[in-house]
Structure 1
């Protein structure tokens, strides 16, 4: 498919007003994407676990205008209060997707959004937020085009979400989502995420993710800036090749339930992501001293316990502690006893694999 597949022809139906609500989860990448081309195209493919508890709920109330507007007409409420600071990001998103949703200037929208996790917690809400918004807009388009098939609906929602935030395209479905063209993954695309199409051992089902909130402050370098710094990065080509190789390795790892190799790939990916930040120009460090303390504690615990507890990191200081269902009691006891002390105000979030967004 190309982006032209997502440009609609004339709509067969009319709708004057209504309301639609979606709850969409965040996700945690196992193979990271870092660096992008024009139109939110990833410089390398990635794969992620869809989460369950960390989610955004977004309602869109829409009412048809008497005549098409010259600009976008919308109000935005975050957790019940007007949030003017969010509006430029939504305007940019609407500008990017207007070609694919030509009805956008025909309506006034009231967008009401809230997170299941504190906004200041240091958990990125762009994946859950933009995917929920994209799904709501797609539900309106389905009102205008009732013949739309569900498979197309999901692909286009992922395609649109990507134009808001790259990783948002991996939050539409679950539980294991791959995004970015890869020569050995059938159906993979730079335009949208797909459900991982190959065998996955039962040990990777019901995986847990305890998110340790090490630092809840504003990052000194945004992910958007960080992605751009990959354009002239001295190690960029090798990094992109590494991501492709790791996705190839994971095919066997997922099929065989090889937890040792899974841990090695996931932790290596997390550290490589931060290595790219530390070796860009300008260089920057998003990990905090307590991030490293937690990593060292995890390594020592895994060695002494023989478990498969591991970590991954997003573009920030917080640590995602991953462990299989069979090890949840031992792992969670370790987290409470030894890791929570390194969290800001002792805060952490318990999550697990989820199965994608839901219409409410």
Structure 2
């Protein structure tokens, strides 16, 4: 009753903000993202019928308080589905910095859900497993199905689950799954995502966001189907600004961006004026995804590095998957 799984984190393209139901983590509206690779979370779990308690270890440290509670919620749901009350040994590692705006909770809970379900011997599709992962993080649902995925909103697990989106090749030959490069600009700054979601609806900008986000979702779906680079990532850039306007105008007035964040935005706009196909995007955090085409990645990375910011170059990642026993963490 042991399994290991790996999942890639997500970059939000049309992001969700706020939860209609905090227990089931049901968002107010659909959301679309892509997975980034080779960044990943690897998780090994083992159901232990004779153990006295669960143990949750991430990055070599045992989880406590709310972090442990969120993993326990996902674990308890798998126990319920499996019809047993075994304790679990749980260990997880990230290959990238966590909690600076690069979606570590998405890959973390996606890998957890995949490993827990596999170790329990449950026969579930990825969309079904996405409902397990969603209980830890709504974004994790899309990390289960991978690549470009949508999490559809709803009031239950039959409706609120993730699925892969159809992605086409554009008239100029750009393939969003093969030709995209993401220059990740690391801006380390602690963020508090869960509390921002909790108070989202209290922002006077929240209703304005709800009024236009459905059109954004439709436009993004069409842009992905057509494979048009500029359409996809211009929408993502604008959606990042819309999301931030909402978080900044909530009761706690969360301001995640740092001076380095703005410096990256300015560099991206300068590059675009010079004819480089490039757009910025942020989730909840100070770090920046700089989206460009494969042939321009070196030029873009060089410009961002000149600001004095650490960078990586990522590609589009696939769905969460079960690994062989040789890759187990214990």
- Partner SS, residue 172 of structure 1: helix
- Count matched residues: 314
CA change 1:275–1:255 in 2 (3 A) is: same
Unaligned runs of 5+ in 2: 324-330
Cα deviations across residues 244-288 of structure 1 (Å, max 9, x unaligned)?
A: 101211233223333332232111001111110122223221111
| Aligned partner (choices 163, 167, 176) of residue 139 of structure 2 | 167
Alignment match, 2:75 = 94
Shift of 1:224: 1.4
Tell me which structure has the larger Cα radius of gyration: 1
Alignment match, 2:326 = none
- Partner SS, residue 164 of structure 1: coil
Alignment match, 1:137 = 116
Alignment match, 2:190 = 218
Alignment match, 1:176 = 148
**Does residue 321 of structure 1 match 2:279?**
no
Check conservation: 2:189, 2:286, Cα contact below 8 A: no
CA change 1:331–1:233 in 2 (3 A) is: same
**Does residue 46 of structure 1 match 2:46?**
no
Alignment match, 2:104 = 125
Alignment match, 1:267 = 237
- Cα distance in 1 for residues equivalent to 2:198 and 2:74: 18
Unaligned runs of 5+ in 1: 1-17, 183-187
Shift of 1:122: 5.3
CA change 1:259–1:125 in 2 (3 A) is: closer
Alignment match, 1:296 = 266
Instruction: Calculate the TM-score normalised by the size of structure 2.
Output: 0.86
Alignment match, 2:165 = 196
- Cα distance in 1 for residues equivalent to 2:79 and 2:206: 32
Cα deviations across residues 299-338 of structure 1 (Å, max 9, x unaligned)?
A: 011101x1211110011111111112232233233333x3
CA change 1:19–1:189 in 2 (3 A) is: closer
Cα deviations across residues 177-215 of structure 1 (Å, max 9, x unaligned)?
A: 011249xxxxx975211000464544312211121111x
Shift of 1:113: 0.9
CA change 1:309–1:171 in 2 (3 A) is: same
- Cα distance in 2 for residues equivalent to 1:217 and 1:245: 32
Check conservation: 1:46, 1:243, Cα contact below 8 A: no
| Aligned partner (choices 48, 51, 59) of residue 79 of structure 1 | 59
CA change 1:75–1:35 in 2 (3 A) is: same
